[in-house]
Chains A and B, each alone.
Chain A
Amino acid sequence: MTAAAPVAAAGPTRQKNTRRRLLIVFGGVLAALVGFGVLGIVVARPGPVQPPCRPDKPCGTPPNRAPRLVVGTIWHSTLGFEMEYYTRILKVLKNDDRNLSVSLEIPSRPELDLSLWVTVAPAAEATPLQLAQDRISFFRGKTLGFQADANSKHELLSPLVGDVHGIGGSYAGTIDSPQGPGQPLEVLIAAATEGGRSAVVSVATSMSEQESGDSPYPIFSLADTLMNTFRWPGEPLPR
C-alpha cells in the first residue's frame, strides 16, 4: 500500500509532473523563440539615422595621400630652404648648400635673357642688408655704372623672398664686356629674414623695357614662377 499508494498516488502526480514539465519545456522553447525573435529584430533593426557627415570633419571622400606634384629638380639647403627649378630651360650656374644660380637657356629663343641668384645664410652670419650689399658688389664687378634705378616705373614695390617681405630695390647698369660697354642690365634685388635665417634673391635681364602691358620687364615673370616654389625652413609643406 505504502508502495502502492505512492504508485497509486503517482499516477495523476506523474501525469501532472509530465504536463508541468512539458509546459516548462514548451514555455522555455517559446521564450527562447520569442527571445531569438526579439534579438533578431534588435540585431536586424536599422540603427538611428546618422547625419551623413560630422560637423567640422572632412566628409565624403577618404583622405588623399597622393604625393605633391613635383615637376622640376628640387634644390635643398641644409639650412632648411628648398626651391624647384627646371633644367629643360635653365642652365645651372651654381648649385651648393647656400647658393642656387640659374640662367635661361632656350636654344630656339636666344633673345630671351634672364638670370636668377639665390643665396641663403644663418641670420647670425648675414643680415638681409648684408646679403643685398653683397649682391650689389657682385653686379658692380660685372657692370659699368651700376646704381639704384631712379625710374619710378621700375621700382620693386614688394621686395619678397618667397612669401616673406623684406628689403630691396631696382638697379641698373651696363654690361661690361671685353669689347666695351654692352647692353643695359636691369636688376631687382630682394632680401629678407625669418626664423633665424636670411635669404637674398636677385634677378637680372638685358632685354629691352616695354612701355605698356603688365610690367616693364615681362621676362621677370619667369623669376616669379621660380620663386613660387621657394620655401623657407619650417614652412609647412603639405604632404
Chain B
Amino acid sequence: MTKPSRRLILPAGALAAAAVAAGVALLSRGEHATRVEALPQSAHAVLSSPAHDRPVGRTNPAAVIDFSLVLRLRQRELDAYLRALEDPTSPQYHHYLAAAEFGKRFGVAPHEIARLRRTVEAGGLEVTGGYPQRTSLRLRGSVAAVSRYFHVTLRDFVDSSGYRYHEPLRPARIPAVLRPSVVGVSGLSSRRVIRPADVPQGGLSPASAEIAYDIAPLHQLGIRGEGQTIAIVSFDSFNDSDVALFDRQFKIVGPPVKHVPVSGGTQVGGGSVEVNLDIDVIRGIAPKAQILDYEAPLQASFADVFQKIVADGKADIVSVSWGLCDQIPRGNSDRVATEQAMEAVIARGITIFVASGDAGAYDCQRRDFSDHRPTVDFPSDSPHVVSVGGTLLFTRQNGSYLEEAGWQDPFSNGGGGGGLNPVEPRPLWQKAPGVQNAKSNGRRQLPDVSAAADSDSGFYIVSGGQLTTVGGTSAATPFWAGSMLLIHQYVQKQKAGKLGFVAPLLYQIASTKQPYVPAFHDVVRGGNRLDAAGPGWDYSTGLGSPDVWNLARDIVAALKSKK
C-alpha cells in the first residue's frame, strides 16, 4: 500500500520473462504469443518478517480467539506402527487405519478427553470440537481467559501489508493438570506465516505435459482419475468460473471442484493464483478425479487442515504448495501438532506431496532478502511427506522429453528448494545412491523428487479470467500428486494391493533394478544455487522427475512382489 508503484515491477519484470518463456511454449505449437501478454498480477501472499512488524499494544482482553490443545499420542507405539506399515514381513504391512481406529490405538482415552473438557471449561474456556483421530481439541475463549489459563500475554502487531494479528510474547505454559494428556497449545498466534510456494510465469499444456512425462499410455488405458479423490491444501480460494474457463480451453470434462472450508474457510484473495495452479495442473493430468479444495484462512495452521482431511477420510492423495521457512524448533507446539496430524494421514494410507520452496537452497531469502543462510521449507522437510523440488524441462520439437536441469535462477534468487531439515532425523526409508553424501548429518534430506518448475517450463492455468503460464515447485507438486493419483488408480485396476505412503516405495524403486526403465529421469545438470544436481539423489532434484508410465508399472510390479 505504501509504494503501490513498486508493486507493478513484479508483473512487469515477470512479463518480460513471460514473453520469452511463452514464446518458447507457444511457438512450438504454432500459436500466437500475444495472448499471454495480458497477465494478471502475480499474486503472492507477501508476508513480512515479524521483526519488521509494528507492535500496536495489548490484544483486547474481551476478544475471542480459537486455538487448539495438542494431545499426547502413544508415540512409541505409533512409531513402531509406522515402521511396520512399510515392512513387508510385518502383519501390519500396509494395514492402514481409519481416523477413529487411529484415535483408539494411539490417542488419549475418551474418559480422559472428558476430563480435559471439564478442566478447561472450569477455566472459562469452551471446547468447540475434536477429531476422531484424537490428535487435538479445538478451544475457544476470551483473550483474558486464555492469558490467565496459559500464563501468556498476547500482543497485537501490524505487518507491512496492514494486516493486524495477535501473538503471544512467550510460549504458553500448560497447567500441570493438563500435562498428562497435552503436549502443547497451538494457534495462539494469528500471524500469517504460511505462504504459497512461488508462482513465476512461463508453458506446459495438459497435452504437452502428458507427452513430456509419458502419461499418455495411462490415459490411453482409460486411467484418467475415475473414482479417485485428491485433496488440495489451500490458504486461499478460487473462482469456479476460472476452472470452467480452463476446462473449456483444454476440453476437459470432469466432476466440479469442491470447496471444503476449514476453520471457517476463506475468500478469494491474493493467493488465488496458487489455488488455480494446483487445481488446473491436477485437472490436466487426472481430469476425471474429484478434487477437494480444503480452504483455510492464512492464520490457520497446517495441522487444522490435515486433521480435517483425515477425519473426512475421502482423499487418496494430498497436494500442498504452501509453506514457511523452517526455523521452528523441535517441540514447538505448532510443529508437533502438524507432525502428529501428518502421522495420522500416513496411517490412513495417504501420501502428502509438498512443494520444497522456490528460493533454492536459501528458503528464508524469500522472506528477507538479507537472509543468506541455507534453509529449507516446512512442512516439505517433514519425514512424513514427499518433498517435491524443481527442474527446468527441455523438450524435443514433438513435445517429448529431452532433458532436465535442476532449477536455479541466480540473478533473481529462484530455484527449487533443497537441503537439510534443521531438527528431524532422516527417515529409515530415505536410502538410495547419492543420499549419503558429504553434507549428510543424519537429518531428513530434501527434496525426494522433482518436476518442471522453472518459469521457462511452467504450466498453463486460468486465473482471474486470464490464460497464463506459471511455474514454481507449486506447479511441480500438483503435477506429482496428480500423476500419483493416476498411478493409484492403475494399482487398483491391476489389483496390486494398496499404494499407501509412497515415499519408501519411490526410494526402493530408485535404488533397485526395475523392469521398466527409467522410472525416474535422473537430473544431472543445474542445481539449487548451492548444490549441483548429479547422478543419483541430490539436493536439487532428489531422485529426479518421473516417467509416469514406467513408474506406474514398476510400482505395480513392486507391490505384487510383496504380496
A interface residues, Cβ below 8 angstroms from B: 51-53, 55-61, 64, 66-69, 71-72, 86, 88-89, 104, 106, 108-109, 111-112, 114, 152-160, 163, 165, 188, 190, 203, 207-228, 238
Chain A residues near B362: list those with CB within 8 A: 157
Chain B residues near A210: list those with CB within 8 A: 6-7, 9-10
* Interface mask (B501-535 → A, CB under 8 Å = 1, otherwise 0): 00000000000011111100000011101101000
Known contacts A221-B200, A225-B456: does B412 contact A56 (CB below 8 Å)? no
The contact of A68 among B33, B397, B455, by CB within 8 Å, is B397
Known contacts A86-B23, A157-B362, A207-B9: does B28 contact A69 (CB below 8 Å)? yes
How distant is the Cα of A66 from the Cα of B394 in the complex, in angstroms?
A: 13
Judge if B263 is at the interface, Cβ distance under 8 Å.
no
The contact of A71 among B13, B28, B400, B515, by CB within 8 Å, is B28
> Contact between B13 and A207 (Cβ–Cβ < 8 Å)?
yes
> Contact between B23 and A71 (Cβ–Cβ < 8 Å)?
yes
How distant is the Cα of A154 from the Cα of B397 in the complex, in angstroms?
A: 38
> Contact between B410 and A55 (Cβ–Cβ < 8 Å)?
no
> Contact between B414 and A214 (Cβ–Cβ < 8 Å)?
yes
Q: Closest B-chain residue to A154, C-beta based? A: B369
Interface of B is mostly: mixed
> Contact between B402 and A152 (Cβ–Cβ < 8 Å)?
no
Q: A64-B396, A71-B27 are in contact. List 19 more A-B contacts (CB 8 A).
A: A57-B517, A68-B394, A69-B395, A71-B23, A106-B19, A156-B411, A208-B5, A208-B6, A208-B9, A210-B7, A212-B46, A212-B48, A214-B198, A215-B414, A217-B412, A219-B13, A221-B16, A222-B17, A224-B410
Judge if B366 is at the interface, Cβ distance under 8 Å.
yes
> Contact between B6 and A225 (Cβ–Cβ < 8 Å)?
no
Known contacts A211-B6, A212-B160, A221-B17: does B402 contact A238 (CB below 8 Å)? yes
How distant is the Cα of A111 from the Cα of B402 in the complex, in angstroms?
A: 36
How distant is the Cα of A163 from the Cα of B391 in the complex, in angstroms?
A: 13
How distant is the Cα of A66 from the Cα of B20 in the complex, in angstroms?
A: 23
Closest 8 CB pairs of A and B: A218-B13, A153-B369, A224-B409, A219-B13, A220-B411, A66-B396, A221-B412, A158-B529
Query: What are 27 residue pairs bridging A and B, where the CB atoms are less than 8 Å apart in the complex?
Result: A53-B517, A58-B517, A58-B518, A67-B396, A69-B395, A71-B24, A86-B20, A88-B23, A88-B33, A109-B12, A114-B16, A153-B370, A156-B411, A157-B372, A157-B529, A158-B530, A163-B525, A211-B3, A214-B414, A218-B10, A221-B411, A224-B17, A224-B409, A227-B410, A228-B392, A228-B405, A228-B454
The contact of A222 among B13, B394, B413, by CB within 8 Å, is B13
Chain A residues near B3: list those with CB within 8 A: 211
Q: Closest B-chain residue to A239, C-beta based? A: B402
Chain B residues near A57: list those with CB within 8 A: 517
How distant is the Cα of A212 from the Cα of B48 in the complex, in angstroms?
A: 8
Judge if B483 is at the interface, Cβ distance under 8 Å.
no
Chain B residues near A71: list those with CB within 8 A: 23-24, 27-28
How distant is the Cα of A227 from the Cα of B549 in the complex, in angstroms?
A: 32
Judge if B360 is at the interface, Cβ distance under 8 Å.
yes
Judge if B301 is at the interface, Cβ distance under 8 Å.
no
Judge if B286 is at the interface, Cβ distance under 8 Å.
no
> Contact between A228 and B456 (Cβ–Cβ < 8 Å)?
yes
Chain A residues near B413: list those with CB within 8 A: 157, 214-215
How distant is the Cα of A136 from the Cα of B489 in the complex, in angstroms?
A: 58
Chain B residues near A238: list those with CB within 8 A: 394, 402-403
Chain A residues near B6: list those with CB within 8 A: 208-211
Judge if B550 is at the interface, Cβ distance under 8 Å.
yes
Chain B residues near A59: list those with CB within 8 A: 515-517, 550
Known contacts A69-B397, A163-B532, A210-B9: does B412 contact A55 (CB below 8 Å)? no
How distant is the Cα of A224 from the Cα of B20 in the complex, in angstroms?
A: 11
Judge if B279 is at the interface, Cβ distance under 8 Å.
no
> Contact between B19 and A64 (Cβ–Cβ < 8 Å)?
no
How distant is the Cα of A210 from the Cα of B8 in the complex, in angstroms?
A: 9
Chain B residues near A226: list those with CB within 8 A: 20
| Shortest CB distance A208–B (Å) | 6
The contact of B13 among A51, A86, A153, A221, by CB within 8 Å, is A221
| Shortest CB distance A4–B (Å) | 84
| Shortest CB distance B404–A (Å) | 10
Q: Which of A88, A106, A155, A158 has most chain B Cβ within 10 Å?
A: A158
Known contacts A152-B370, A238-B402: does B12 contact A111 (CB below 8 Å)? yes
Judge if B408 is at the interface, Cβ distance under 8 Å.
yes
> Contact between B411 and A60 (Cβ–Cβ < 8 Å)?
no
| Shortest CB distance B485–A (Å) | 22
> Contact between A215 and B402 (Cβ–Cβ < 8 Å)?
no
| Shortest CB distance B24–A (Å) | 5
Chain A residues near B44: list those with CB within 8 A: 213-214
How distant is the Cα of A116 from the Cα of B546 in the complex, in angstroms?
A: 35
Q: Which of B362, B402, B549 has most chain A Cβ within 10 Å?
A: B402
Judge if B347 is at the interface, Cβ distance under 8 Å.
no
Chain B residues near A228: list those with CB within 8 A: 392, 405, 454, 456
* Interface mask (B146-164 → A, CB under 8 Å = 1, otherwise 0): 0000000000000010000
| Shortest CB distance B60–A (Å) | 29
How distant is the Cα of A220 from the Cα of B21 in the complex, in angstroms?
A: 14
Judge if B358 is at the interface, Cβ distance under 8 Å.
yes
Judge if B398 is at the interface, Cβ distance under 8 Å.
yes
Judge if B14 is at the interface, Cβ distance under 8 Å.
yes
Chain A residues near B24: list those with CB within 8 A: 69, 71
Chain A residues near B336: list those with CB within 8 A: none
Chain A residues near B414: list those with CB within 8 A: 214-215, 221, 224
Judge if B320 is at the interface, Cβ distance under 8 Å.
no
Q: Which of B14, B27, B370, B413 has most chain A Cβ within 10 Å?
A: B413
> Contact between B454 and A218 (Cβ–Cβ < 8 Å)?
no
How distant is the Cα of A161 from the Cα of B411 in the complex, in angstroms?
A: 10
> Contact between B9 and A55 (Cβ–Cβ < 8 Å)?
no
Chain A residues near B200: list those with CB within 8 A: 214, 221
The contact of A51 among B198, B515, B517, by CB within 8 Å, is B515
Judge if B15 is at the interface, Cβ distance under 8 Å.
yes
> Contact between B516 and A53 (Cβ–Cβ < 8 Å)?
yes
Residues of B390-439 whose CB lies within 8 A of A = 392, 394-398, 400-403, 405, 408-414
| Shortest CB distance A188–B (Å) | 6
| Shortest CB distance B67–A (Å) | 28
How distant is the Cα of A155 from the Cα of B13 in the complex, in angstroms?
A: 19
How distant is the Cα of A55 from the Cα of B515 in the complex, in angstroms?
A: 5
| Shortest CB distance B10–A (Å) | 5
How distant is the Cα of A209 from the Cα of B396 in the complex, in angstroms?
A: 37
> Contact between A163 and B517 (Cβ–Cβ < 8 Å)?
no
* Interface mask (B532-553 → A, CB under 8 Å = 1, otherwise 0): 1000000000000000011000
How distant is the Cα of A210 from the Cα of B7 in the complex, in angstroms?
A: 7
> Contact between A55 and B396 (Cβ–Cβ < 8 Å)?
no
| Shortest CB distance A19–B (Å) | 63
* Interface mask (B111-146 → A, CB under 8 Å = 1, otherwise 0): 000000000000000000000000000000000000
Known contacts A208-B9, A213-B10: does B513 contact A56 (CB below 8 Å)? yes
How distant is the Cα of A52 from the Cα of B514 in the complex, in angstroms?
A: 12
> Contact between B410 and A159 (Cβ–Cβ < 8 Å)?
yes
> Contact between A109 and B411 (Cβ–Cβ < 8 Å)?
no
